[in-house]
Structure formats: C-alpha cells, structure tokens
Structure 1
C-alpha cells in the first residue's frame, strides 16, 4: 500500500554504572538475535556506539539512532538502568518510544549475574512521569530475549500509527451535509495530536474535476476498473467519469500534501454532488482506500482519521460503515441462532452506499445508490460498489472529538458472519459480544456518530494502546464490557 509511514526502531541498551555493563551488552545482543530470527532484519537498528550509563552516553546514543534514520525508540534495561539518563534519552528522542526490561536468566547466576531490571523499570516509569514523557510500556514489560522481541513486534503497529499521525494531513471538501451534525466535530484535537487539516470547498473540487476532462490517463484507469469489477461491471458507461474523478483526487493529494508524507480525505458525496458531477463517488472512495489513501463519506473528518489509524495498524484496507440496522428476528432464527454464540442483540448490520473495497467483499457489482435515487434521477446516482462484506474477524473502532472538544475513542472486536444480508449497498451482518449493552452505554451514552471504522482482523490491543499514547484519557476509551461487568451508567437492576 502507498501513503504509509515507514518504521525503523532504534534499540538502545542502558546500564546503571554500579552493575556489570556486560549484562546489558550480552542481553542486548541476545534480544537483537531473537528478534532477527523471528521477525527478520530491516525494522530494528541495534545501537552499538555505547551502553547508556551517563548523560554523555545518552547524547551519543541519541545522535547514533538519529543518524541511522530511526523514527521509533526502544529503551532496553539490561540491568537496573540509569533512571536519569535513560529518561532523558526518551525525552529528547522525537518519536514514539517503548521501555522494556530484561528478566533474570538462570538460578545458577543470581549473584554477579543478577540485573534487577524488574526494579529498574519502576524507577524508569517514575522518572518518565516526572519529565512528562510519553512512552509505551507493555502489559508485562519484563522478559527473556524472546519475550522482549515479541514486545517490540507488538510495539511496531503502535509506533507506525504515532509516526503516521505526525506526518498526516487530512484534506476535506465542503461542510458536512444537512442533518449530519453527528459527523461535525471541532478540529482543535487534530492539531493537539499533530495532524494537519486542509479544508476546501466542494466548488474547488468541482473546478479541478472539470479541468481533468479528457485527461490522457483516463483510459488506463478505466481499464483497471474493468479488470477489478469483472462481471460486476454493470454500469460501464459511468467508468470514464469515475476515472476522471479518481485522477482529480490523486492529483489534488500530490499538489496539496505540502510537507506531510501521509494524506487522508474527508469527501463530499451528497446532496448536490450527484446532480453536479453526475455520479456518486463511492467506488472511487473504495479504490483509494484500498491503495492506502483512506476516504471517508459525508465529510467525516474524524472518520477519515480513524480509517487512517486502522490502515496503518493493520497494514490492510479498512472501511467506514454506518452502524446501521438491526438483524430481523426471522433472519436471526434461520441463519444465526444455534449456529453462532450470539444473541440477537449481539448482532447488527454495518452498511454504506458502496465505499468498501472490492477485496473486502464476497461479491461485488457496480450499481446506483438506491436511497438517493428515491429523490433524484437514477442516472446521476451511479457509482456504488455493492456486495456482502466477507466473513471474518473485524475490529469496530473510532477516534472522535466531542462537540465540547474532548478526545474519546471506542474499540470492539467481533466478526462478520457468513450470513446473506438480502439487502443493498456494501453491507454485512456483524456480531460483537454484548453489542446491545455496548451500543447503549458507549455509543449512545458517549454521543458517538453513526459512522464506525472497520479493520479486518482483531487489532483491539494495538488500537487501545495507540489511543492511550496519543492522549485519549483511559476512561474515555470505550469497549464492549463482558457480561457481568457493569457500565457506570448501566442500571444495576437491568
């Protein structure tokens, strides 16, 4: 995928000067060997210039990892560690950082070979707080070389997301549509987490689109679309316009990204879009999202932001769906009850007009937008990519700023069931354990909009840590509480 941040993690070992430096030297080597053996080379850089015992060493290590092009840092406590120097290293490193510590190795060497990094991690965390330094600390941050290698691997999607956000510009077109105040949110929190935004008029976009009429690249894009759609190419006459629009957006991205390496788009799609452009942009949105440039519908700025985070974490295509409608009782009884471990309230349908990439659909066809066609000529509503979403694991999530500028998020893992939707649009039958309670006491109680981002796989652990790292208060990260664990607003008598 294009438009994704590249990650290089510098591993710096530290040592308290009253402990044998050899502990940190040997344990660092074992850590790098374990990581390379399991995950390969390229992502991790071993800082060999020194073991950090002093502030002078800290400066040397910092310069070394910067020179190596590292944009993420792992501070490895091979023994107790120097609480001042190691936290100064984290303070002065511009990028995401993680602290991990070495476990003791053998009962046969607990005199000269004991490192006490278990204790040192406590001092490190205390000093990080004193200096106001953010760092990712794993759930249990002390381990063998192999265990710490796994921790670094788990840090990678978190670090990628943080790096990506620092390099992200969201490009939006137009104000939110009428009666979609739910997608409207203050942009202050974007700046607070380091994201840039460029807001444009849809008239600017329309002008750029018209300037691309007859663009020599259109036939090649049409051919790509034909190959992708195959037998689902039910509206071939609309493909040249869609290709023209795709080229317009890509050119806009390149001309307007500025100094930012990554871009996401919050696009306008109605009500005037269809009558002026002559189509709906859903299929183009799906194609760009699959290429690594997430595009949200209805100028949903925080939807685009959420999609980008999920794309970087999963390194895969995501989608943005309405948390849309209930599963009918007869469908539940026929296709779900007794076959899957879900109540009817655990299920719902996720839907959008046609913005989900073809690779995430069980089948697809190019169609017109049925809801819009109820009040507009059918011919101007063509351009949706419709089909049932592929069964499999998913993570439903969103990062959002409230109307009063509070940053909050939710994460819930579940699956798309192999159940025919018998409906229209890009749509699937979703199941999330205890969804009914989550819907009431997180989504409704916390005033979330109807759009949720979907990552294809279980990425709740990484997303939770990303949200914590960028500053979402832990109490503002909602998730689907297990049965028997009550939400603060939940009536104890049911």
Structure 2
C-alpha cells in the first residue's frame, strides 16, 4: 500500500496591491513545496503570472486541476487575493481546501502596504462560507516557520483520509457471527452518507480461491511461508503453516479482484468448519502489508482501520483490538487484546504462531505476543440510529500481566470517562490503535466528511483547533 495525495496549488492576487510581491511569494512558495517533496500541480501555464486573479482563467484552472487528478487544493494569498475566484474554483472541485498567506511585512516608510494578505484571507473565508465550501485555515506565518511544514503536512494527511474513505470498498468475508449483534451495520447508510461500499463473498468462495492459489501461485505461497518462518515462532504443524499462507494469498487476491482496500472476516466459527483454521496469522500478514483486515466481520472496524492508516501515512501500522479488562493495579489502565491479527513487526519479540486460548486451542491460526509500548492514538468509527461519530483519544503503553493472543496494556487519562463513552455508545468493544498522534489529522479530515462528528475522550474540539492554529 502506498499513499499519494496530489495538491493543486493556486496562488491568488488582487490588482490594487503589489503584483511584484505577489509574483515573488508565489515563486518562493512553489520552491518551498518542491523542497518538502510535495506532489503538486500549479497554474504556471494558465497565464503569464501563474496566479489566479482573472475571472476568465477560472474555467481553464478547473479543467487542468481535474485533468491532473488533484486530491486537495491550496490557495496561497500572495497578496490580498481574489476571494470570489477562489470560491468559484473551490466549489467546482469538491476537494479539501486550505487557505493561507505569508505573514504581512510592516508598512513601507511612506505608509503604503504591499500585500494585505491577512485582510484578503478574512474576505476569502467569508465567501467560502457563502459558497458552502468546507475549508481549512493555516494561520499566517513565514515560509521557514516549522509550523508551515507541520500544518501543511497535516492537511495533506487529512486529505488522504478523505480520499481513502470516498468510494472505499470493503471485502466482507461471510456473514457476521450470529451472536455478534454489536457488529451489525446499515449498508445502505454507509453508501448514502459516506460512499462506502461492501463486497460480500462466502466462505466457499474463499476456499475455492485457496485452491486456485495452490495450483497457480505456489511461488507466492512459498514466499509467505518464508515470511512466517522469519518473523514468527512456529508452534503448529507444517500443514497449518501452508494452509495459512494459502488463506492469506486467497484473501489478498479477492481484495485485489474486487478493488477492496480493507476486509472484515467472520473469523469464527464457520471458518474453522470450512477451512480448519483461525485466520489471525493470515490477517496479521495482510495488515503488515498495509491491507487492513479486521475480525468478526466488523465493517465499522475496517473503516476505522483505513482512516487511521491513511492518517498516519504508514509511519506506523494500525492494530485492531478489543477493549477487554481493566488493569489490576492502575486505575486508568486497560488491556487491548485480540487473538492475533496484529502485524508481527509491532511486537516486542517474535510472536508465536499457535492456537487461540479462547477457543480451547481447537484449531491453529492464532498469534501470541506483546505489542511494543509508547505513545498511541486509539480510534473508533461507529454509529447507530443514523448518527455517526469518531471516538478518539491518546494512550501510552504500560507494564501489566502476561496475556495470550496479541496484546498491550495501556493507560489513558480517565478510564471511567472512556468506559462510559463506549457503553453509552454508539461504540462497541472494538477499536483501532496506532503508535503516534493521528488526532490532529482526523480532526481536520472530519471537516470534509459530512455526517461524521468528532468525539474525544481526553481532549475536545477547541483544544484541537488551537493545536492546528499553532498555539
């Protein structure tokens, strides 16, 4: 999995302010973006100035930006800018929008001002609201201010989240476990509200695909077996390793065939009757490759994984977990655990390929190991009664008693508050964790996802807004 968010850069100016200063800053901005390694498309070929200031250029700019498959728009106000033209372009594109201007200098000795970029941003914000265009604002700063890079990168990652969610297709492998009413979803609402689609396949289809992989992709199966041998301690028969590798290849083939970025599998108990395995290790291998696979046919969990992974740009892989039991001595400690779908690279030591304790070790396929600690983000997309929200907060790894499956003990700021939020809903016992802080990215992304609201267990919207302002 690779992420690439392409930015459309559309500098703007207004005639009554310095044209030369606007040209100078436009050049400096494009140079800075090149230094940052941003994949961007500019409008240098649209007119002699490479700036948005003439209504006659709007159509050409929109055509170019659409042709170049741009994912987000950046409107630097190189002087005051032309607010109505910015709004026209932005509304035509339906992409995340960032507005910013370089910090204005002091007036000249004669009292004249060259740019008035701040004043222009005030005007643009008003007109974007009139046009009902959601937008982000990066506070004025110098180009060499570290805030500029951090804030722009946050916007790019947020735009990547929006891009990944729009048109997302999730491979649903079999039905939900009959007793798990908690993972019921409204497939129609997901399509109507978020343009998220589900492609269901049956267990016989998976089994058939495994046989195809065995006949036609033996080299790939052998490569997966080598990966298992290199990254895991094996405590099952060779046949189980081979079948697990075939299952992994089959699931990946089905995801690719149906254009799915994630999968949700009924990991018990029909799978054991049909295939003779638990899929945890196969899930782990796919998660390691940046192809999120979640347990118990949790479609909302798969959506969460896709959002978190995009927000983190694969700087660290996400892991799908159960909230399980409180820490025996730490009042704000909690156990995150599951039967073994977490990437092996996140473990403190080589995890053990065995069988799940929760099912009396009935079939092979589980993974056992402790996650590396550190600072984390914990996230859950969920909804009921037509309302959807994103539960988010921070955690850090702590010491705790040994467990089976893949697990980590974490500490949160206020477990009682978190516990009440999960019980009172719309959330369930599943979440997605990732090392690092993805909350600023997700906070910004929600601006561009109608029908989804933020819900924090250890901060709030005001604090997150302040963070994005660089306060």
Q: TM-score, normalised by structure 1?
A: 0.85
Give, in whole Å, the separation in 1 of the partners of 2:110 and 2:189. 50
Question: Is 2:354 aligned against 1:354?
Answer: no
Q: Secondary structure at the match of 1:205?
A: helix
Structure 1 range deviating more: 175-184 or 100-109? 100-109
Contact 1:5 1:164 survives alignment (8 Å): no
Q: Deviations over 1:431-455 (max 9, x none)?
A: 1112321221x22222311100111
Alignment of 1:472-483 (within 5 A): 472=451, 474=453, 476-481=454-459
Alignment of 1:426-441 (within 5 A): 426-440=406-420
Task: Tell me how far 1:29 sits from its aligned partner.
Answer: 1.9
Give, in whole Å, the separation in 2 of the partners of 1:200 and 1:242. 18
Task: Tell me how far 1:53 sits from its aligned partner.
Answer: 1.2
Give, in whole Å, the separation in 1 of the partners of 2:405 and 2:107. 62
Task: Tell me how far 1:401 sits from its aligned partner.
Answer: 2.5
Match of 1:203 in 2: 204
Task: Tell me how far 1:136 sits from its aligned partner.
Answer: 2.5
Contact 2:22 2:79 survives alignment (8 Å): yes
Q: Deviations over 1:36-78 (max 9, x none)?
A: 44x2x34233432331113222223333334444322101112
Task: Tell me how far 1:308 sits from its aligned partner.
Answer: 0.9
Task: Tell me how far 1:25 sits from its aligned partner.
Answer: 1.9
Q: Secondary structure at the match of 2:95?
A: coil
Contact 2:355 2:364 survives alignment (8 Å): yes
Match for residue 466 of structure 1 among 419, 424, 445: 445
Q: Deviations over 1:148-195 (max 9, x none)?
A: 444222211111111222252111122221231111121234322222
Match of 2:40 in 1: 44
Structure 1 range deviating more: 449-458 or 97-106? 97-106
Q: Deviations over 1:285-309 (max 9, x none)?
A: 1111111110010000010111011
Question: Is 2:374 aligned against 1:392?
Answer: yes
Match of 1:407 in 2: 388
Contact 1:347 1:431 survives alignment (8 Å): yes
Q: Secondary structure at the match of 2:11?
A: strand
Unaligned runs of 5+ in 2: 464-471
Structure 1 pair 186/94, CA: closer, same or farther in 2 (3 Å)?
A: same
Task: Tell me how far 1:349 sits from its aligned partner.
Answer: 0.6
Give, in whole Å, the separation in 1 of the partners of 2:449 and 2:235. 44
Structure 1 pair 394/185, CA: closer, same or farther in 2 (3 Å)?
A: same
Match of 1:307 in 2: 305
Structure 1 range deviating more: 264-273 or 464-473? 464-473
Structure 1 range deviating more: 102-111 or 19-28? 102-111
Alignment of 1:308-387 (within 5 A): 308-316=306-314, 317-329=317-329, 344-363=330-349, 364-373=351-360, 378=361, 380-387=362-369
Give, in whole Å, the separation in 2 of the partners of 1:109 and 1:429. 62
Give, in whole Å, the separation in 1 of the partners of 2:61 and 2:199. 37
Q: Deviations over 1:246-288 (max 9, x none)?
A: 111111122211xxxx611011101221122111000111111
Give, in whole Å, the separation in 1 of the partners of 2:81 and 2:209. 57
Give, in whole Å, the separation in 1 of the partners of 2:196 and 2:157. 18
Structure 1 pair 127/271, CA: closer, same or farther in 2 (3 Å)?
A: same
Contact 1:14 1:51 survives alignment (8 Å): yes
Structure 1 range deviating more: 455-464 or 217-226? 217-226
Give, in whole Å, the separation in 1 of the partners of 2:207 and 2:386. 32
Structure 1 pair 444/121, CA: closer, same or farther in 2 (3 Å)?
A: farther
Q: Secondary structure at the match of 1:73?
A: strand
Match of 1:82 in 2: 82
Unaligned runs of 5+ in 1: 330-343, 486-494
Structure 1 pair 136/196, CA: closer, same or farther in 2 (3 Å)?
A: farther
Give, in whole Å, the separation in 2 of the partners of 1:400 and 1:44. 34
Give, in whole Å, the separation in 2 of the partners of 1:360 and 1:321. 13
Alignment of 1:128-167 (within 5 A): 128-138=128-138, 141-147=139-145, 148-167=148-167
Give, in whole Å, the separation in 2 of the partners of 1:69 and 1:248. 32
Structure 1 range deviating more: 283-292 or 127-136? 127-136
Give, in whole Å, the separation in 2 of the partners of 1:166 and 1:226. 37
Match of 1:416 in 2: 397
Alignment of 1:65-214 (within 5 A): 65-106=65-106, 108=108, 111-138=111-138, 141-147=139-145, 148-191=148-191, 192-214=193-215
Contact 1:264 1:308 survives alignment (8 Å): yes
Structure 1 range deviating more: 179-188 or 237-246? 179-188
Q: Deviations over 1:207-227 (max 9, x none)?
A: 333444445232232122212
Task: Tell me how far 1:370 sits from its aligned partner.
Answer: 0.7
Give, in whole Å, the separation in 1 of the partners of 2:390 and 2:172. 21
Match of 2:258 in 1: 256
Contact 2:203 2:274 survives alignment (8 Å): no
User: Aligned residue pairs: how many?
Assistant: 448
Give, in whole Å, the separation in 1 of the partners of 2:335 and 2:318. 17
